[in-house]
């Protein structure tokens, strides 16, 4: 099988292969992805590898939960990253806590 699609369409399909595997895309997009996979040998091969990886992960890790200390470290790390990359406003009022997050404007220096 050879690919008659351009490289960009293959990149799009491969970027969405996990959505396809997890049945998380709408029916129209799923049909378009399936058609591409049916026609493109290299994408189909990559899809097969991803499918096997997903099955392996499910078999080896299915049902297990991360330890609570690991989950808390991940949450803390994500929180710190968001705070570094965003302008965050936290207000506490009678109705509860309100959090507003805005992306920081990036400035480039021409050093």
45-71 residue pLDDT tens: 888 888 888 888 778 777 667 788 988
Q: Which residue has the higher pLDDT, 72 or 102?
A: 72
4 pLDDT tier (thresholds 50, 70, 90) = low
Tell me which residue of 59, 33, 58, 31 sits closest to 46, measured CA to CA: 33
Q: Please count the structural domains in the chain.
A: 2
Q: What is the pLDDT of residue 46?
A: 84
Pair (32, 53) in one structural domain: yes
pLDDT at res. 98: 67
Q: What does 33-84 look like in DSSP terms, one character per residue?
A: HHHHHHH-HHHHHHHHHHHHHHHHHHHHHTT----HHHHHHHHHHHHHHHHH
- Domain that residue 20 falls in: 7-61
Identify whether residues 13 and 55 lie together within a single domain. Answer: yes
Q: Are residues 23 and 43 in the same domain?
A: yes
Indicate whether 56 and 11 sit together in one domain: yes
Pick the range with the lowest mean pLDDT from 28-32, 44-48, 80-84.
Answer: 80-84
Asked if 13 and 45 sit in the same domain, the reply is yes
């Amino acid at each position: 099988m050879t690919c008659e699609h351009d490289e960009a369409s293959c990149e799009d399909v491969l970027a969405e292969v996990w959505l396809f595997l997890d049945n998380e895309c709408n029916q129209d997009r799923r049909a378009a992805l399936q058609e591409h996979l049916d026609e493109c040998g290299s994408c189909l091969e990559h899809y097969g590898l991803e499918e096997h990886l997903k099955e392996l992960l499910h078999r080896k890790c299915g049902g297990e939960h991360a330890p609570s200390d690991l989950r808390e470290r991940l949450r803390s790390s994500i929180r710190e990253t968001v705070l570094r990359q965003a302008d965050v406003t936290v207000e506490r009022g009678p109705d509860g806590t309100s959090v507003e997050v805005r992306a920081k404007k990036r400035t480039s220096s021409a050093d």
